[in-house]
């Protein structure tokens, strides 16, 4: 393969968004080549299920709600203490030195608050951030461009930002 190591980005949606950011943190900490850019689509960025968006989703916003996230955490983490690991609890992590980032947020999503907090904290750490919240959307909207106009707009933002970062 003739890939260019100077043109690598990480992109992830939901749990994958949190994992993408964790990969960037691990690269930084191990002092290996850092991705040039990261796109985090409604990332799982915290373990606190008492945020405003978790409270708003307690009644059951489909396709994801507070109870669903509780199930995921219960089955993903070995113990609740693992939720404090900075690779899970990104909103409390050291974010200095991470690559420029686009964060896509969904309006009716238990992850909305932590996505915005992550964007704010990245900015405070000196990371260039493009945060976009799409009104009227739910978790998983990003892949529905054929039927959800906001998904097409979000995909355009993500691809435009990636193209600009990798040229």
Catalytic residue among 14, 24, 53, 57: 14
139 catalytic per annotation: yes
Catalytic residue among 57, 109, 113, 161: 109
Sheet holding 37-41, edge to edge: 9-13, 37-41, 100-108, 129-138
53 catalytic per annotation: no
Catalytic residue among 57, 65, 139, 161: 139
Q: How far is CA 140 from CA 5, 36, 65, 90, 135, in A?
A: 30, 25, 12, 20, 13
Q: Answer yes or no: are the C-beta atoms of 156 and 134 closer than 8 Å.
A: no
113 catalytic per annotation: no
d(CA 99, CA 107): 25
Active site residues: 14, 109, 139
């Amino acid at each position: 393969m003739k890939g260019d190591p100077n043109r690598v980005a990480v992109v992830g949606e939901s749990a994958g968004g949190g994992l993408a950011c964790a990969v960037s943190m691990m690269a930084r900490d191990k002092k290996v080549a850092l991705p040039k850019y990261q796109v985090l689509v409604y990332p799982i960025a915290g373990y606190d299920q008492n945020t405003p968006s978790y409270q708003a989703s307690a009644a059951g916003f489909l396709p994801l709600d507070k109870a669903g996230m509780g199930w995921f955490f219960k089955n993903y983490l070995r113990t609740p203490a693992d939720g404090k690991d900075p690779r899970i609890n990104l909103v409390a992590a050291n974010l200095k030195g991470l690559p420029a980032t686009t964060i896509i947020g969904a309006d009716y999503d238990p992850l909305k608050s932590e996505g915005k907090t992550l964007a704010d904290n990245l900015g405070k750490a000196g990371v260039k951030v493009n945060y976009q919240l799409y009104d009227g959307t739910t978790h998983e909207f990003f892949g529905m461009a054929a039927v959800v106009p906001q998904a097409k707009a979000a995909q355009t933002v993500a691809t435009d930002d990636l193209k600009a970062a990798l040229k």
